Structure 1
Amino acid sequence: MATNPLWDVELDELTQQEAQERFRVTDKMSANWCLRKLRALQTQANEVNELAQAEIERITSWRDKELEQVNKHVEFFQGLLTEWHMQQYEADPKGNKSIKLPYGTLKSRTTKHQPSKFDETALLEHVKATDDAYVKVIETVEWGEYKKTLSVIEVNGQLAVVDANGELVPGVAVKVGGTTFSVEVAE
């Protein structure tokens, strides 16, 4: 599938190598060989993804065109049903809140007028001035800054977190660190 003949050679070598005994990295040359193989595999994966993406876009475009027509018809029939239901509701509001039919139900729902906030700042200032019992104060620790003052020490063979005064800090656990390794293949 790879279009670059050099990557094809790399992938062919990889297939041959898998048939033999397990390869081991022993020096920079063998490590570089592995990186070449990884680069060829990444190229192959990119080609597969590009092909898949092109097909996904083509199918998505087709779907959108088809659904556009379907949605127009849905809106048309829903409009017809809503118009008829409104007429039935106006004639008898209690008896025609919902109309059950073999293939579905037409429903109406009436809501009362209710407040809706749109300017949090203006609302907060008004409530503070008139009745601050409805103002909520949120307390939180500035974790980023406080964390800088903490230390991890060993106490009785266990790792623990202490503050600047050397006191154990409740509610804080030790996230164990370590070394991680990764591979970056040059493009």
Structure 2
Amino acid sequence: MNELQSSLNQYLEEQEQTERETFVVDTDEKANWALRKIKQAQQKQEESNALAIAEIEKIEAWNASEKEKAQRDIDYFQGLLAYYAVKKREEDPKFKSQKLPNGRIRFQKKQPKITYDNEAVIDYLEENNREDLIKVKKEPAKAEIKKAFTIFENNMIDPETGVAVYGIEVEYPEDEFKVEVDKE
């Protein structure tokens, strides 16, 4: 089917005798020809993208496999080193680290993990007059602003006062030209 479509497209191009350098769209037939050329180019993009994705997936699968193998080695040797470091600490309770030619093994003190129940903490702080430890985030309610104010030229206007709202600017982008190619 793909060969038939290709053959038809080639025949239609020969019949229309088009040249890219001097071609000007000035009739419906030429506009339709240009749309067909866009459609062919889009199909070529899709085919090359599909091929690239297939190859990328293979490479990513290989990479994941190699990373997994290397991570198993890392985990194994880290386990051996951890066992060695624990033994050294049992022999010398003050043991914290040791520098070796290829790196260092060490015990690192960790900070305590603190978990907050935000609502309970806020309740406590409010009950104990510690509002200084509560953050309040202010931001404009944009959806409500659009409903409450009116657009006039490049500003939002407060309809009750007729005054432009400071800090809001209205932009009017140009109409965008689009080409829509029918899918088969």
Shorter-chain TM-score tier: 0.7 to 0.9
Unaligned runs of 5+ in 1: 154-158
Task: Check the 8 A contact 1:11/1:37 in 2, yes or no.
Answer: no
Counterpart-to-counterpart distance in 2, 1:109 and 1:131: 38
- Specify the alignment match of 2:144 in structure 1: 145
TM-score normalized with structure 2 length: 0.79
Aligned residues: 177
Unaligned runs of 5+ in 2: none
Q: Which secondary structure state, in structure 2, belongs to the residue aligned with residue 100 of structure 1? A: strand
Question: What pairs up with 1:17-166 in 2 under 5 angstroms?
Answer: 17=18, 20-94=20-94, 96-117=95-116, 119-133=117-131, 134-148=133-147, 149-153=149-153, 159-164=154-159, 165-166=161-162
- The partner residue of 2:170 within 167, 174, 184 is 174
CA deviation profile, 1:54-101 (whole Å, cap 9, x unmatched)? 11122222222232222111110011111212222343354x322211
Tell me, yes or no, if the aligned pair for 1:98 and 1:105 is still in contact at 8 Å. yes
Change (3 A) 1:64 1:70: same
Runs of 4+ in 1 over 4 A off after TM superposition: 11-14
Let me know the Cα RMSD of the aligned residues.
2.8
Identity fraction in percent? 32
TM-score, reference length from structure 1: 0.78
Q: 1:65 to 1:138 in 2, by over 3 A?
A: closer
The equivalent residue for 1:156 is none
